[in-house]
Structure 1
């Protein structure tokens, strides 16, 4: 990656959408720090900047508008951050989030924590109070007098790299650190805080040309040979996670050459085709009973774990998922293997998953596959014929989504935290990678209802969010989608309650709870914000409504009145909570 600073003012072509407002700030003869920072971001491949403006960040905001970066002004900072995560995964390019001082920063933190958990590449640019005004109760003062410094303005658990830019002399080091972080294979979340007076100060130093060459982490030939030896000891299974999304072709080849059973994490849906005869199901939250049956009836000697942390939502640390002789765990992050099951023998390998699997394939020639697929358990998807009930059964809705959206389009499908997670993970089937997204780690409500906007914009095509009414009321960016004509679709499971909470509490033995929500009319809400919408009250109306939504060039909300009594497939989550002590029995 080359990172350099040069005056391309005369040659730059503004690539701004029609909704952008021209900057009224007078351009200085020399570059300001704000302009220099934006130029660095351009050179690092940033195409989008999402955020909410404010007086303290005005110079950076104006500089962004004068650049080739497309600037989208959101309604809430958390929404901007969630959208940035999904724009990154849709485009594979780093995305900027910008906010003003004080609450602008704290509002964004939930989304930025989610970015860290998800492994996205996001650069957070915020304002801070100028030095002469610190400690004097400036408006939304952002300094060590009023806000905690550790974690927000320093590198740590939120940000891989964080700094406050106090002088233009620090720009070369900031540039170098950003380039290093963005060049690494795993995620990278950075925070550059710039005092308002520094943003407008003149650049006092030239930025050096930084040429970085990043080698991909891979296992040695000796490690690959040892892995082959372990896998050849007896039948093995492959556990596919989101971190293996770049190795779909190689994983399928390995499975078919060896006859290995394949399972996937909730985020890993579609990396290995879910209709493949060797696929035994999704593990963890919303997962399939067929996986547990396979592990109980045909327990493999080893499990080859590819690109998943095996965290609670993927494994629930279930002892049934432990193979006879341990795990072979491959991940780009050396801290991950062995963490979920610390007492179980694990052969840990730090490597890019694709390169590792390619290495294995040299030892498993064509035609070696075992004829085991017929005996493997398969996921069961219960099909219920439509009825004339006044409410829609969730599994019927998922069946039509499968037919019209998953199989009938190339749209990205996303699932929001809550029962939407469970229904989508359990009932939807994907046969290609990159078609499904869910945040099952940090799992913040509001991630998908706002992230769908970033995904639709970055992929320049349809993105569909399956969400609950609680999440839709908590945080959405429908109005932002209207402004920038993002082809986003929201399918709202409207049951008038936080139903995962209500159902879960009842199953745990806590009956005296109130999770009800006054029934909202999301069609009127959508229309009030400039979007289109349609209400679905009966199952026979689902197909026509979804066809209309997918054909619409504008943002579209489908308000589906869901039967609330149908229990979502969340049993494994409840078992985990009971095991952790969250029960009244």
Structure 2
């Protein structure tokens, strides 16, 4: 975790209980619970709060507006939660999502589940029905009478790492402590603080103690490092890099160059190890490259060092070809991860911060002799195709143009939405630095990046680009929010008038005649109607100029690209995996 969170100080007792500070600008009055909660959030390092207002959450909403926290009012709670997830990864600071009772909470849940799967740090603050009104069918009643509360507003780790209902101000010291502990831990943390409407305006009746916590970095013993070095020295090994290793990019590069190891990455791990490096053999799993399987079958590494990936379905498809002869050395901060994806494979589990582990391991591998001849490894094929002046836009041509204009011509973060969009992006786009590519291959919700791009661009104070399908764009977008706050988000819409991943996938599974078509939308007109800019691209020869215009625009910008739907996306390994599971539906 970043150093700014290593010593979190929630020093609220002085500020929350001192009426003298308030008397400088207005008459003294008791501090409210809503204000106390917001002050706790400020002291935890929160800079952004995204959400949708409502009567039941109004006191907290007002307190947020009167704080140092930047408040963005979204159009849908799920969009706010997706945006909060991406704002966390862009800023490395916890982000608040706020919502009112009833549908405000249930709308947000999809985005909050995604935050948990992605490993973000998000605090959800919502209202609940006041005690005197419970069971009386209050408007949007949110209580055990009407809502399945288990795991939503109770402390069960089903949806949230921590959940609490603040029934009185005496609960706030414990809430502050639990949030501080959760945010100080490595990995993700998603919490839910539910506050009944009447409690929000209650006077604070308790002091909040100062809490100072230091984050202890998980590491390993010298004996474990020595054994890892011994195993990896037996024969050339492979390195499998995941999103959890993004803070250790330099150490991974050093280890690979000193040992001559082949390096592959998960779809979420693209760019942590440069994809143009001669030792990079490709992306594994969904949208991945055949060169990885070629390497495993022909070079037969004795071990694979796994760094920061769960090796889940979209990373590995649990393909037995990926199991090395003597098994995995799997490093992760979560002790439950090693061995879970491949329970029958020999796995040497190491619970550690990856950067700390690699720094110690590198001591056993001195700089490689520069005169030694490097091994030629299989690499992904880069088959460039020339643009045509007629016909619909081929997705591969669009990806080549994005590579040239956006990736190589700017420092913008690129995001790929679930569906064929992330299949094309994973397979064809190449990154040489970490932190420039985002994709969700775990929870994989449609709508994640059509809204997440707004949170990322806002937190970066710069350009973020989302590659999305027309189905996702129609489902849930926050163009209007970006316009309101002048956030320079860019949407590149693959407009083929259908849910094409579903159409292509079901056909490959042998199901015929399923209707996946949707009426073609004009997303430029939609963008204009909301106050954004946009261009419709119908010819491949116009792609580059349109991308360049989007890149320099200071306004939210939509590129509506009319895609040839007949081109098959690189999803065959996903479909084959479904068939192997005897799937009967898509």
Superposed pair shares fold, TM > 0.5 = yes
1:451 and 1:269 map into 2 onto residues whose CA distance is 18
Note if contact 1:131-1:195 (Cα within 8 Å) is conserved in structure 2.
yes
Deviation at 1:10, TM superposition (A): 8.6
Q: Deviations over 1:72-105 (max 9, x none)?
A: 0000000000000000000000000000000000
Specify which of 4, 9, 27 is matched with residue 11 of structure 2. 4
Q: Deviations over 1:365-395 (max 9, x none)?
A: 0125795754210101221111123210000
- Would you say how many aligned residue pairs link Structure 1 and Structure 2? 572
Q: Deviations over 1:443-490 (max 9, x none)?
A: 000000000000000010000000000000000000000001111000
Cα separation, partners in 2 of 1:371 and 1:417, compared to 1, 3 Å: farther
Q: Which residue of 1 aligns with 2:520?
A: 519
Q: Which residue of 1 aligns with 2:496?
A: 495
1:53 and 1:583 map into 2 onto residues whose CA distance is 42
Q: What are structure 2's unaligned runs of at least 5 residues?
A: 1-7
Q: Which residue of 2 aligns with 1:486?
A: 487
1:428 and 1:169 map into 2 onto residues whose CA distance is 52
Q: Which residue of 1 aligns with 2:30?
A: 30
Q: Which residue of 2 aligns with 1:18?
A: none
Asked if 1:221 is matched to 2:222, the reply is yes
Moved more, 370-379 or 544-553: 370-379
Q: Which residue of 2 aligns with 1:167?
A: 168
Q: Which residue of 2 aligns with 1:243?
A: 244
Q: Which residue of 2 aligns with 1:142?
A: 142
Note if contact 1:99-1:125 (Cα within 8 Å) is conserved in structure 2.
yes
- 3-state SS in 2 of match to 1:80: helix
Cα separation, partners in 2 of 1:414 and 1:38, compared to 1, 3 Å: same
1:477 and 1:581 map into 2 onto residues whose CA distance is 38
Note if contact 1:305-1:328 (Cα within 8 Å) is conserved in structure 2.
yes
Cα separation, partners in 2 of 1:381 and 1:298, compared to 1, 3 Å: same
Q: Which residue of 1 aligns with 2:391?
A: 390
1:368 and 1:525 map into 2 onto residues whose CA distance is 59
Note if contact 1:163-1:191 (Cα within 8 Å) is conserved in structure 2.
yes
- Taking only aligned residues, the RMSD between alpha carbons, in angstroms, comes to 1.5
Q: Which residue of 2 aligns with 1:93?
A: 93
Deviation at 1:400, TM superposition (A): 0.5
Q: Which residue of 2 aligns with 1:55?
A: 55
Q: Deviations over 1:80-137 (max 9, x none)?
A: 0000000000000000000000000000000000011000000000000000000000
Cα separation, partners in 2 of 1:363 and 1:469, compared to 1, 3 Å: same
Q: Which residue of 1 aligns with 2:189?
A: 188
- 3-state SS in 2 of match to 1:7: helix
Q: What are structure 1's unaligned runs of at least 5 residues?
A: 13-25
Deviation at 1:214, TM superposition (A): 1.6
Moved more, 556-565 or 209-218: 209-218
Q: Which residue of 1 aligns with 2:117?
A: 117
- 3-state SS in 2 of match to 1:413: strand
Tell me the TM-score normalised to structure 2 length: 0.96
2:578 and 2:321 map into 1 onto residues whose CA distance is 17
Cα separation, partners in 2 of 1:505 and 1:440, compared to 1, 3 Å: same
Note if contact 1:259-1:372 (Cα within 8 Å) is conserved in structure 2.
no
Asked if 1:307 is matched to 2:284, the reply is no
Asked if 1:400 is matched to 2:401, the reply is yes
Q: Which residue of 2 aligns with 1:234?
A: 235
Alignment of 1:257-336 (within 5 A): 257-336=258-337
1:555 and 1:527 map into 2 onto residues whose CA distance is 10
Note if contact 1:417-1:439 (Cα within 8 Å) is conserved in structure 2.
yes
Cα separation, partners in 2 of 1:297 and 1:141, compared to 1, 3 Å: same
Cα separation, partners in 2 of 1:66 and 1:360, compared to 1, 3 Å: same
- 3-state SS in 1 of match to 2:164: strand
Moved more, 149-158 or 344-353: 149-158
Q: Which residue of 2 aligns with 1:575?
A: 576
2:568 and 2:348 map into 1 onto residues whose CA distance is 39
Q: Deviations over 1:495-536 (max 9, x none)?
A: 000000000010110012010010000000101111001000
2:465 and 2:29 map into 1 onto residues whose CA distance is 46
Deviation at 1:27, TM superposition (A): 8.5
Cα separation, partners in 2 of 1:305 and 1:406, compared to 1, 3 Å: same
Deviation at 1:317, TM superposition (A): 0.2
Note if contact 1:452-1:488 (Cα within 8 Å) is conserved in structure 2.
yes
Q: Which residue of 2 aligns with 1:23?
A: none
Note if contact 2:488-2:554 (Cα within 8 Å) is conserved in structure 1.
yes
Note if contact 1:535-1:558 (Cα within 8 Å) is conserved in structure 2.
yes
